[in-house]
Amino acid sequence: MKHIAVDVGNSSIKAGVPGPAPGSWDKVYRWSQPKDFSLPSDDPVGWLISSVNRPKYRQFVHWIETHRKQDRVHHLDWTYATIKIQVAAPQFVGMDRLCAAVAGHAIVGQKPCIVIDAGTAVTVDAVAAEGTFLGGNIFVGLRGALDQLAQTTDALPRLETPTTPDDIEAFGKSTAQAIQSGVVLSIVGGISEIVRRMQQVFGGSAQVILTGGTAPLMKHFLTFETNLVENLVLDGVLMIGNRLAKAYE
C-alpha cells in the first residue's frame, strides 16, 4: 500500500506523495478547505497524518472515511518520534515541530541543528548532535502579525502577505509598506536573536535549516547561513509515519 504524508497545519493541509528516490516527492498537494480534497486515483493508500489543527484534522479524516473507505489512517503522535524529546511535557509539543526536527537531524547527521519553520506561527527549535529535541521558541508569523495589526487598530488596513524582498524597505514610504516592512523585519530580528542565543549554547556549531511558507522571503534578510528545505515537515512525517505504518502491517 502506498503511503501519503500529510501535514495538517493552521492555514492549509499539505499532502505529499513520495517519489522513487529517498527524500523526493512525486506530488505535493496543498488544500485550503474540504472541497479541495482529492486524489487522482482510487487505489487504496495509507495516510500518515501529523496535525496541529484539530478541526481541520477532523474534516480531513471525515472526508477519507466518507469518500475513501478503503484507505487506512495512521495518526502520528509524539510517542512515535524517532528522536529523544527533552522537554517538560512532550505530549504538548506540536507534531509539526517534532517532524521538522526529525528531518533536520537526518539531514545534518551527528551535528547539532537549529530548525526554523516560518509559517502561520514561527518556530525555532534546537536538536542536539546525538538527536535530542531540546525545545525552542514560538511566536506569531507573518500572516498573523498583519491580521493582528488590522484587528487591534482603527486605521491600519488588512494587507496581503508580501511575497518578494522588493516589498520590504528600511524606510516605508506608505502606511502599507511601513507595515509590511516592519512586520517582516521584526520577525527576521526575532529569528536572528533566538538563533544567536542557541548558537552560543552550541558554540556556533549548529547547522540552521529553514522551512515554511514564508521561508524564502525570510531567508533573503537573514544574515547567517541557512539550508532552505521546502517540504521539511513532510519529510519528517514520512520518516516517523513509515515506522508507525510498519507496526500495523
The residues assigned a catalytic role are 96
The C-alpha cell at 196 is 544567536
Q: By the 8 A CB rule, do 247 and 17 touch? A: no
- Phi, psi at 18, each rounded to 5°: -60, 145
Q: Which residues 6+ apart lie within 8 Å of 109 measured at CB?
A: none
178 near 151, Cβ under 8 Å?
no
Place of cell 499532502: 15
**What is the rounded CA–CA span in Å between residue 35 and residue 33?**
6
The span from the CA of 194 to the CA of 125, in Å, is 9
Contact yes or no for 51/57 (Cβ under 8 A)? yes
- Where b means 16+ CB within 10 Å and e means fewer, 70-86 reads ebbebbbebebbbbebe
Nearby residues of 236 by Cβ (< 8 Å), 6 or more positions away:
50, 98, 99, 100, 101, 102, 103, 104
